[in-house]
Structure 1
């Protein structure tokens, strides 16, 4: 039986300036230097992360690199290595799982831990948090902050509003200090309260978190309806509960859900993708990656979807269309034939700024329908052999000849994760 929220002890552990901390740990000569993560060859690019030294000099996340350098001329800008950051994030998860099996990644640098059942073995929540901080620092060189609370929302707000500003990097937020610590804060410090919602609350005369928490729910709903309309009751209940720290959601160790589809997309510069031949080079590259991922998951799909966004600067359009195949597949040539047919049928002829390919209606690929006209078993063996080579030597180890054309993006994509360099 699930424990009551007030009986739980939950951590939200945040790795400080994660990308920058990982880079500084690997380069001791940068100790004490202001460091930011971004593309040093693109002054108009944005800062993805900045170390505490850089932040003290005014550098902020998401600002332009040239703006950051104007504030801090000695700033060291390092190109991101996403693969390395993912590795360290997984290492952190492994460390957390030494203390509890209830670990839920929230982002690459934040994870929830339900340590309720671990305190009898490891002591108080604060002593356990300090032990985890020390172990992470010794193992990775990264300093972590820990928010402690009886719910995930309180643990998160404890981290963001207090632990990050506390030299110890620890703070507990619960019923004992909720009114004293959290309620006097400006309303934009409440979890999931962005600028638009903040403006609504300010117009309602609710500038502080406590102004919401002290209202009766019915009264708050009535006032929010006057501000936002009668469809706002769900939002009212959410923000009222958040202000009071109410959150029954458990820490979920596994965030993976059954696959419903496998897709790949690519944003393009319209000036470079005006001709069908150039666009189809990218489409084929997306097909290769979709089919490879499907085989990695042991899946094949019967429905193919293709999407495109197109514009010439004055006119714009786009489409997303799908078709059902005669039988499920994750073979590249079968999928490509359907994708190209869909694109040629529905493309409006304008330059393309985005493409997407998706494989849906998935089923396990451990059984296959035999045909009289193709040895599909042999074709799957060939494709899986190519997959093995790419897994070992990288996605660019084997590419289609068309990817060496100026319109090809496969080699560039092979060096990136999530649009950033590995």
Structure 2
């Protein structure tokens, strides 16, 4: 049996059984290493070696948590929540429905913008989502729908639009690795190659909105003073400080290419403006880091898991075994390449890391099977994107959970991972395969 397949399966099964994701990743990594014959010492050494890869991201999220708490203390959260609540008022029916759609569009536009227009990735979630939890609770809006909306906005832009993070994924990673495999990509439209898979993502989003989660879901109302609640504890000075802090954080993140420095400088602005008193700084900072601790530890453990999978050498074996099964069948070849990409990304949690792994083998194979350059780009790109939604270790699922679970009423696996897996990976498989056969 392939060690990577077993390790990913163990990790997913344990996660679905509500074993904590960090524990699931560790157990899966150890099982995979032992099955590959690495031995317990080599497996643990590889796991520990990989932990450092997630440290930067984990620290970034911890500081973003502190920054989010500082923003909520400024009163911006309350103003935003109250504005939406005033729109709801005592209205029923169409009035509430209008606010619901405005809220969904707000989150969708913010998520899409975070990938291309203002490339800050998931940094906006702990700032924007928690203040709206009170409003979502009042409207009985199903948070699984919100998770699907956010994940769509975090993934679809980079796999279709070649700007921002999309420029990195589509041009610097996808096209570069396909060209390295011997395909002439000169003049090739990457948007044309990825259009049909992107339509699959859109279909999944529409199903989530209009079919799966259109009914109301009851949540416990957040008490005044807690995360996401609405209160009157704010003043113009604190709101101005919050605006300056957000601008400083975003500019620093873009200029220095560091979420760590962006969040830290934003927090300093709050301190200097007096919104956060100096004697409160330590406690507030600790509170914010606690809120984001889970996502940080999961990212660290995921890096260790990915390193063990690479050290086993069974990723290459998995790809090679798929090649031997395919034979001369283009239809079978396309679906197996997509499934291998799905499996690898589910375990590693990163589309950006999956493409270089699979392109080296899949590109020559696709050429041998007679796929066009456009179809090859589509296959490799879709195989890489598959599994980003629905992976317990992906920041595209961890980010939405971090915002939606601020009050402890949103489960990472059953309310984010499973819904996004069903609504995005299944359509991506179908539309990706169709695109490979048509292009």
**Structure with greater strand share of residues:** 1
Relative to the length of structure 2, the TM-score reads 0.22
- In our comparison, the structure showing a higher alpha carbon Rg is 1
Relative to the length of structure 1, the TM-score reads 0.23
**Structure with greater helix share of residues:** 2
Greater relative contact order (CA < 8 Å, ≥ 6 in sequence)? 2
